[in-house]
Structure 1
Amino acid sequence: MLLNVIERGPEGSASGRPPVVFLHGLFGRGRNFGFFQRSLSATYRTLALDLRNHGDSPHGPMDYPTLAADVRETLAAHNALPAIVIGHSMGGKTAMMLALTAPADVVALMVADIAPGEGGLAHTQDIAQGLVALPMPASLDLSGAAAWMAPVVRDKAVRDLMIQNLQLGEHPRWRIGLREIRDALDTIVGWPALPQGTHYDGPTLFVAGGESRYIQPENYPEMRRLFPHYRLEVIPGAGHWLHAQKPKEFLAITEQFVSSVQDRTSPSQVQTQD
């Protein structure tokens, strides 16, 4: 599946520098990374993707191998491989899956506040089910949408995020594949079994919010098994939405990481052992 892409880059050639790709989290969209794209695009070619069932991309059944395959197909169509891939939450799991299944296409990997394993996103299951069941009014404006959604989505930040996924006005509708997302949530909260010995040898940075519980010490052994060269940085005072809550700190970490791998031209390989 070809995904919707927002592309920004420097005038002229960025030869020798791999593209930087951003993958958003559940219920998000590529433009959530606009601040970081604008900041990096003076030097790097950047692409922010709407994952399937999100933003302006097509809808369909979803799991992490499928999401990763969509990303690979889309980047190949844009002549944007290999790339430095940055993903938050669900987008981070998608980025990890891409690195593990198509290592030659991933120069380096940055994962924001999610671990490779079961967990995270669980609170969204009730939200998705509740919103699917909520009767759609004949019309909605911005304030009306907030009031309509409030009984199901009590957190204002999450409510504001979800409102971005509505087409307001007369005959409002969801732009996202809400039913497809709901049906896939058990899979999205989880993490698929991988062949014994599978790992990605490239540079890998996990960035955790200091106030978030999405990456815990019990995740470290699996992180080391799958990504033996990983590093972990923590942004103090940030929760799960660390790039929105601490944008300057997240940008500084991103710029340093991208700069450190920009000249890497021989991506590492995943190895599988019996």
Structure 2
Amino acid sequence: MTLDLAVVEAGQDRPGPPLVILHGLFGAKKNWGALQKQFARTRSVIAADLRNHGQSPWDAAMDYTIMAQDVARLIETRCAGGPVHLLGHSMGGKAAMMLALSRPELLASLIVVDIAPAPSQSAQLTHYAELLRDLDLSPYSRRSEVDAALKPAVPDDGVRAFLLTNLETAGDALSWKPNLDALVDNMPQIEDWPALDGVEPFEGPTLFIAGGRSDYIGPQHQAEIERLFPNAEIETIPGAGHWVHAEAPKAFLETVERFLAE
């Protein structure tokens, strides 16, 4: 069953195809707020919460086919059927690639941020999902207390701060916004990438943006990228890790804007 995704819009009066932004695992549309404002200076921009994240509905199913169908529904209902420029980071990048390959008529171009059309197993991601799910929040009333509780298992301050963006406060009650049961149950599908033998390639303009300190896009992925996205170019932003857009926002903004202007 496809879902109506929660979105935030900016620059609705701008001409041309809208830019639709899809976040990664444990992310949300609000994390893209600053960049969305920058992009909206020249174009309409829609940032979405993918299923089981942020303010979007929960559902037990979470593979890339169904996530792509959610985004197709968004484009059909919010963007007059497209075409749109579609930008996705990590998990959102895989959903974006799946949509480009299954519904190419909806896209004017595709931007994939630090993820390849390949499995990307990471025990760390499963660990984080299980950690948040299993943490009893009832003893805590402040974000700082949850931060302290997570620190022994997640010593990296930046990663911990990112995970804590998923914490929701209502008075003294704390809860996690993502559907952590669904994320844990579907982690094999989230980390995987389906075999796409015989699929028609996406012929539209495509940009892969890699972080220079990340290994999510490597030489071993080149052949599959060329097979599925024959008009793709790959740009690397030096010094940035997996969260390229957050770690090097100026370079990221310039790279995307340059591609969209071509």
**Deviation readout 1:238-274 (Å, 9 max, x if unpaired):** 11111111000000001111122xxxxxxxxxxxxxx
1:36 to 1:77, Cα distance in 2 relative to 1, 3 A: same
Match in the other structure for 1:263 = none
CA distance in 1, matches of 2:54, 2:153: 21
Match of 2:173 among 155, 171, 192: 171
Instruction: Map residues 61-80 of structure 1 onto 2, 5 A cutoff.
Output: 61-80=61-80
Counterpart CA distance in 1 for 2:138 and 2:242 is 31
Deviation at 1:201, TM superposition (A): 0.4
Q: Name the counterpart of 2:159.
A: 158
Describe the SS at the equivalent of 1:187: helix
Q: Is the CA contact (8 Å cut-off) linking 1:23 and 1:48 kept in structure 2? A: yes
Conserved in 2, the CA contact under 8 Å of 1:86 and 1:92? yes
Contact 1:50 1:57 in 2 (8 A): yes
SS of the residue corresponding to residue 140 of structure 1 reads coil
Alignment of 1:1-274 (within 5 A): 1-9=3-11, 12=13, 14-15=14-15, 17-60=16-59, 61-80=61-80, 81-119=82-120, 121-168=122-169, 169-260=171-262
Contact 1:120-1:214 at 8 Å conserved across structures:
no
Return the alpha-carbon distance in structure 2 between the equivalents of residues 52 and 86 of structure 1: 16
Identity of aligned residues (%): 42
SS in 2 for 1:139: coil
Q: Give the AA of the match of 2:150.
A: M
- Which whole-Å CA distance do the structure 1 matches of 2:252 and 2:25 have between them? 19
CA distance in 2, matches of 1:7, 1:48: 7
Amino acid at match of 1:36: L
Q: CA deviation at 1:142?
A: 2.1
Contact kept? 1:7, 1:45, Cα under 8 Å: yes
**Alignment root-mean-square deviation, CA:** 1.4
Q: Offset at 1:215?
A: 0.5
Contact 1:138 1:170 in 2 (8 A): no
Shift of residue 198 of structure 1? 2.6
Q: Residue 123 of structure 1: SS of its match in structure 2? A: helix
Alpha-carbon distance, 1:122 to partner: 4.2
Pairwise CA distance, 1:228: 0.7
Distance 1:228 1:51 in 2: 27
What is the distance in 1 between the residues matched to 2:139 and 2:219? Answer: 48
TM-score when normalising by structure 2: 0.94
**Distance in 1 between the 2:38 and 2:231 partners?**
27
Which whole-Å CA distance do the structure 2 matches of 1:44 and 1:104 have between them? Answer: 20
Cα 1:178/1:91, change in 2 over 3 Å: same
Q: Which amino acid is 1:254 matched to?
A: V
Please tell me whether the aligned partners of residues 23 and 89 of structure 2 are also in contact (alpha carbons under 8 angstroms).
yes
Aligned partner of 2:230: which letter? Answer: P
CA 1:185–1:231 in structure 2 vs 1: closer, same or farther (change >3 Å)?
same
Say which SS state the counterpart of residue 186 (structure 2) adopts: helix
TM-score of the two chains, using structure 1 as the length reference: 0.90
- Is 158-167 or 105-114 further displaced after alignment? 158-167
Q: Give the Å deviation of 1:195.
A: 3.8
Q: Tell me how far apart the structure 2 counterparts of residues 126 and 63 of structure 1 sit (CA, whole Å).
A: 19
Is the Cα contact below 8 Å between 1:20 and 1:47 reproduced in 2?
yes
Q: How many residues align?
A: 257
Q: Is the 8 A contact 1:29 1:49 kept in 2?
A: yes
Which residue identity lines up with residue 32 of structure 1 in the other structure? N
| Partner SS, residue 242 of structure 2 | coil
Distance in structure 2 (CA, Å) of the matches to 1:120 and 1:8? 34
For residues 6 and 39 of structure 1, do their structure 2 counterparts lie closer, same or farther at Cα, with a shift above 3 Å needed?
Answer: same
